[in-house]
Structure 1
Amino acid sequence: MRLDKFLVECGIGSRSEVKKIIDQREIKVNDIIVTSPKTNINEISDNVTYNDNKLEYKEFRYYILNKKAGYITAVEDPKEKTVMELLPSWVIKKDLAPVGRLDKDTEGLLLLTNDGKLNHKLLAPKSHVNKTYYVELQESISESDLKKLENGVDIGGYTTMPAQVEKIDNFKIYLTIKEGKFHQVKKMLEAVQNKVIYLKRVKFGKLELNSLELGEVKEVKLDEIV
């Protein structure tokens, strides 16, 4: 792989930007300063450093974010703050995109990756990836309403698949669904004459928030996802 392509793939900058960095003698390959962007390297075995910081090549990158409320799930938007603004500088943002979406006012686990095939696979309707939400409710929820949620409810021309519901108390539940319809959790609770006042996704497939703080990001491996 050419050195300039390697640096771009590592998120150091655009082709023109990494060329300037190379010209400024800030790149070393196996402890030797390299000044040509055309230099061929072995992206796996060669030791490439930028300002003496080792660069690690990964074709695909996977991060989980504990999303804050107030940010939309998008790569860019002319008016709204996006989840990309929550990512720290060490995250390689090149070609990175969210997997699915969380509403602007929803917090919790959001997976981001540059692996387009995985993104498509996880979002495909037939994949039936479990998504678990912690839900706080405006009204006390009855056992009959819990049973309705478990069996599936009409959310406006669509009946949801059977869900898993764990009651925490009369005003708090964990709700696990397989689909990802627009505003689905909110609409499901509206279908049983209730209202969501706080919503946080805590699990997505095999991934869990655990101790990840609000606004924090963690890199994960593919085998932690599927």
Structure 2
Amino acid sequence: MRLDKYLTECGLGSRSDVKKILKNREIKVNGKIEFSPKLNVSTADEILYKNEMIEYKATRYYIMNKPAGYITATEDKRHKTVMEIFPEWVIQKNLFPVGRLDKDTEGLLLFTNDGPISHELLSPKKHVDKIYYVEAEKNITDEEMKRLELGVDIGGYITKPSKCERVDENKINLTINEGRFHQVKKMLHAVDNCVTYLKRIKFAELELGDMKIGEVREISVEEIL
């Protein structure tokens, strides 16, 4: 593999960023300063950036604070996709979103090229929690919150028990461990209400924290589960 591609896939930046790093003589390959982006390297080589060992990543994990207006897909001819949000330094080859968020929904979205971890997170048998911040058209009563927690009919299907935490009169944090199509919106509709704003704030052990809308961050697999 070319050195510039290797360094880019290690997350040092875009191809142009990597060429600047090489020009600044900040890369060593097997103890020798290297400035040629064309040099062929492999994982057997010792490659240092500013005298720190860098490691090639066979599997990669990123979280995004998804803005509204983008569909969760790797490609689409008619709509903007979440893949268009990624900065240049992210190598998108083989990356895919784990699960989905609706076009008008914001919040935490995980991407990886790791099929087994995706299956682990999405398997109905694993009961992985997802927390959504919900703003509703009308106030949500304590009784309606209890109904949401016990399970509601969303069109021939009764949702599994969930957890509701009140934020304000018409705002709740709703924890579910299912992923039915438009589930949160349908759950609010089942108690005669309507979602006006929806944001996923937690998925498995991942949280948005202070990430800005549209921001992307690389994470390790240990942060997920």
Give runs of aligned pairs for residues 165-204 of structure 1, distance below 5 A.
Answer: 165-204=164-203
Give how far 1:7 is off: 3.4
User: Gaps spanning 5+ residues in structure 1: where?
Assistant: 13-17, 19-24
Which residue of 1 is the match for residue 210 of structure 2?
Answer: 211
Which residue of 1 is the match for residue 129 of structure 2?
Answer: 130
Check the 8 A contact 1:136/1:171 in 2, yes or no: yes
- From 5, 14, 22, the counterpart of 1:7: 5
Which residue of 2 is the match for residue 114 of structure 1?
Answer: 113
Quick one: structure 1 residues 164 and 7, their matched pair in 2 at CA, closer, same or farther if it must change by over 3 Å?
same
Check the 8 A contact 2:2/2:41 in 1, yes or no: no
Check the 8 A contact 1:64/1:111 in 2, yes or no: yes
Separation (CA, whole Å) in 1 of partners of 2:114 and 2:34 = 32
Separation (CA, whole Å) in 2 of partners of 1:135 and 1:44 = 49
Give how far 1:48 is off: 6.9
Check the 8 A contact 1:10/1:55 in 2, yes or no: no
TM-score of the pair, normalised by structure 1: 0.83
Q: Say which SS state the counterpart of residue 173 (structure 2) adopts.
A: strand
Separation (CA, whole Å) in 1 of partners of 2:220 and 2:163 = 27
Separation (CA, whole Å) in 1 of partners of 2:55 and 2:208 = 26
Check the 8 A contact 1:136/1:199 in 2, yes or no: yes
Deviation per residue, 1:65-91 (Å, 9 max, x gap):
000000000111111000011111111
Separation (CA, whole Å) in 2 of partners of 1:29 and 1:168 = 54
Q: Say which SS state the counterpart of residue 176 (structure 1) adopts.
A: strand
Which residue of 2 is the match for residue 156 of structure 1?
Answer: 155
Q: Say which SS state the counterpart of residue 133 (structure 2) adopts.
A: strand
Check the 8 A contact 1:11/1:94 in 2, yes or no: no
Give how far 1:214 is off: 0.6
Give how far 1:114 is off: 0.7
Check the 8 A contact 2:3/2:37 in 1, yes or no: no
Aligned pair count?
A: 209
Separation (CA, whole Å) in 2 of partners of 1:48 and 1:136 = 49
Deviation per residue, 1:174-195 (Å, 9 max, x gap):
0000000000000000000000
Separation (CA, whole Å) in 2 of partners of 1:45 and 1:29 = 7
Separation (CA, whole Å) in 2 of partners of 1:197 and 1:77 = 26
User: Gaps spanning 5+ residues in structure 2: where?
Assistant: 16-21
Quick one: structure 1 residues 126 and 5, their matched pair in 2 at CA, closer, same or farther if it must change by over 3 Å?
farther
Give how far 1:40 is off: 5.8
Quick one: structure 1 residues 143 and 44, their matched pair in 2 at CA, closer, same or farther if it must change by over 3 Å?
farther
Which residue of 2 is the match for residue 143 of structure 1?
Answer: 142
Give runs of aligned pairs for residues 11-160 of structure 1, distance below 5 A.
Answer: 11=9, 29-30=29-30, 31-32=33-34, 39=40, 41=42, 43=43, 46-47=46-47, 56-160=55-159
Quick one: structure 1 residues 36 and 195, their matched pair in 2 at CA, closer, same or farther if it must change by over 3 Å?
closer
* Percentage of pairs with the same residue: 54
Which residue of 1 is the match for residue 19 of structure 2?
Answer: none
